[in-house]
Amino acid sequence: MPTYLLVHGAWHSGRCWDRVVPLLEAAGHRVLAPSLTGYGDKAHLIGPDVGLDTHVADVVGLIAEQDLTDVVLVGHSYAGLVISSVANQVPDRIAHLVYLDAMVPEDGETAVDVLPVTQALIDLATRSESGWRVPPPAGLFGVTDPADVAWLRTLLSDQPVRCLQQPVRLDNPAVRSVPRAHVHCVVGVPEGITRRPVPAIQPNGSPSRVWELPTGHDCMITMPAELSGLLLGLA
């Protein structure tokens, strides 16, 4: 059975998947939901040198350390960049890429190329006192339940600006054979956020798989059962 490796997006930690992990495990799967460098239990490692390459190394290192194969690699939001470069390095270990309301890059692109509004975050960070910290946005990613909002606030950390500046690498021809799926959260999309259309045919030549969830950006918190059902459909 495939292993699910869930990669959180900017500002979050691995604990954002707490409601999804038990549902996938109940179906018999091994599930890993690590915090990337600078977040959660690794928050003390945050610094100006932490970037996209750091987070790619986190995930590639975990796959190697755990000798994972047949991996369903799920990337939320910013982590669409992360999982793309991870698959470029270890395509033979990845069974499926899932872009969960995520940035979907081409080779050599940065976050700004995929989502131009990101430039405003970079500008704010570089002009700030630190010169590199990007604080979480005021709106909490479509989470509205007061208890959920309070819990989510405990998970959030600043994002190092380097994460938004380093380019994705997709120069390994083998990565094109990895199947992809896309999950779009379609409620409350913030102004200025424009999602790239998903081509009808994915890089491996198969028809694209695109699902929609009627909720906000953090669907792993607001619709964990529905999201888990979609992910299990890939197994």
- What is the per-residue pLDDT for 193? 84
CA 179 to CA 203: how far, in whole Å? 8
Taking the C-alpha atoms of residue 217 and residue 222, their distance in angstroms, rounded to an integer, is: 9
Verify whether residue 77 is a known catalytic residue.
yes
Stretches where the chain sits below pLDDT 70 are 235
Structure tokens that stand for 204 in this block: 């491996």
Total Cβ atoms within 10 A of residue 124: 13
Which of 35, 77, 85, 157 does the annotation list as catalytic? Answer: 77
pLDDT at 189: 84
Q: Among all chains, which residue has been given the structure tokens 């491996």?
A: 204
The structure's pTM equals 0.96
pLDDT attached to residue 218: 97
DSSP SS3 for 134: strand
- The candidate with the shortest Cα–Cα distance to 222, out of 160, 141, 116, 156, is 141
Given CATH 2.60.40.10, say whether it is the number of domain 3-232.
no
